[in-house]
């Protein structure tokens, strides 16, 4: 299993604070069957800045540490960038880091809004040769209020990643329900942990994938598993035709 979203690098954001924390997270990941993990520290979210070179250096250091500790977990470089007006410039100057240096680039919205320029920025990212992956849309209040906004982004080429903890109800029943509805409407393409630690923001990957298999069947289960591998390999991921969400179907969320 590959986890494409984590905050396992120590001391760079609100994830692991120390190398000991990173080791604990790595052991927890391995226990859940995760063999490779993408380190995606926050970037330009108003509090943290982690550019390409900073991340590459820290991934190299952490990889050496895991090797010394005989922890069988491959660490892959990535970045969780808050959407901002300088993204294309940062792509051009090398400040942004796509996941594993592929064509896939994480884009994070503020939790309480979708900036008005978001549609154009997602389009411009694609023109620049990258595929934007919108992270944890199930926790964005504006998308919850109007899921058709996400439908429009996906229809125009963006992908999305839902958090494993959301799928299993760690963020509450409404977020869990909405996550399931996004899966059912083919509005998400990846499940990842967004793990920050081993306690309050753990992995939940094994439980989430079992829930997907139970609720939606083996086809979705294997699609999500395969998509993470395809992303890391810089290949086209599986994507089914998105469905226009209807407000009446998203019960209890408006």
**Predicted structure pTM score:** 0.96
Around Cβ 240, how many Cβ atoms within 10 Å? 12
Can you read off the two tokens belonging to residue 213? 């298999």
Per-residue pLDDT at 253: 47
Is the pLDDT at 124 greater than 80, yes or no? yes
Per-residue pLDDT at 250: 55
For every residue of the chain, DSSP letters joined together read -EEEEE--STTSSSS--SHHHHHHHHHHHHHTT--EEEE--EESSSS----HHHHHHHHHHHHHHHHHTT---EEEE--EEEP-TTHHHHHHHT----GGGSSEEEEE--TT---TTHHHHHHHHHHTT-EEEEE-GGG-HHHHH-THHHHHHHHTT-EEEEEHHHHTTTT-HHHHHHHHHHHHTT---EEE--B-SSSTT---HHHHHHHHHHHH-HHHHHHHHHHHHHHHTT-PPP-PPP----GGGSTT--
Mean pLDDT estimate for the chain: 96
Per-residue pLDDT at 254: 40
Per-residue pLDDT at 244: 83
**pLDDT (tens digit per residue) in 200-253:** 999 999 999 999 999 999 999 999 999 999 999 999 999 999 998 765 455 454
CB 76 within 8 A of CB 37: yes
Q: For residues 56 and 47, give the distance between their C-alpha atoms in angstroms, rounded to a whole number.
A: 20
**pLDDT (tens digit per residue) in 144-195:** 999 999 999 999 999 999 999 999 999 999 999 999 999 999 999 999 999 9
Mean pLDDT on 74-85: 98
Burial of 204 (0-12, 13-18, 19+ CB in 10 A): buried
The answer for residues whose C-beta is within 8 angstroms of residue 68's C-beta and 6 or more apart is: none
User: What domains does the chain contain, in order, with CATH numbers?
Assistant: 2-249 (3.20.20.140)
Percentage of residues of the chain with pLDDT beyond 90: 96
CB 167 within 8 A of CB 211: yes
> In terms of Cα–Cα distance, which of 229, 207, 178 is closest to 28?
207
CB 132 within 8 A of CB 125: yes
Mean pLDDT on 118-131: 98
Per-residue pLDDT at 246: 64
Q: Tell me phi and psi for residue 192, to 5 degrees.
A: -140, 165
């Amino acid at each position: 299993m590959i986890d494409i979203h984590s905050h396992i690098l120590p001391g760079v954001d609100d994830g692991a604070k120390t190398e000991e924390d990173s080791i604990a997270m790595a052991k927890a990941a391995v226990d859940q069957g995760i063999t490779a993990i993408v380190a995606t520290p926050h970037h330009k979210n108003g509090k943290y800045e982690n550019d390409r070179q900073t991340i590459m250096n820290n991934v190299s250091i952490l990889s050496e540490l895991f090797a010394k500790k005989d922890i069988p977990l491959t660490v892959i470089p990535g970045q969780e960038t808050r959407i901002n007006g300088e993204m294309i410039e940062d792509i051009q100057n090398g400040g942004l880091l796509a996941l594993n240096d592929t064509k896939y680039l994480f884009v994070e919205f503020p939790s309480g809004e979708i900036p008005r320029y978001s549609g154009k920025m997602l389009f411009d990212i694609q023109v620049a040769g990258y595929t934007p992956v919108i992270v944890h849309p199930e926790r964005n209040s504006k998308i919850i209020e109007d899921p058709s906004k996400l439908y429009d982004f996906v229809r125009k080429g963006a992908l999305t990643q839902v958090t494993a903890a959301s799928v299993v109800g760690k963020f509450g029943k409404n977020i869990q329900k909405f996550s399931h509805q996004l899966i059912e409407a083919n509005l998400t393409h990846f499940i990842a942990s967004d793990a920050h630690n081993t306690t309050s923001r753990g992995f939940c990957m094994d439980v989430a994938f079992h829930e997907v298999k139970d609720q939606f069947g083996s086809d979705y289960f294997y699609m999500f598993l395969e998509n993470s591998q395809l992303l890391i390999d810089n290949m086209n991921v599986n994507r089914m035709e998105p469905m226009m969400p209807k407000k009446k179907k998203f019960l209890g969320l408006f």
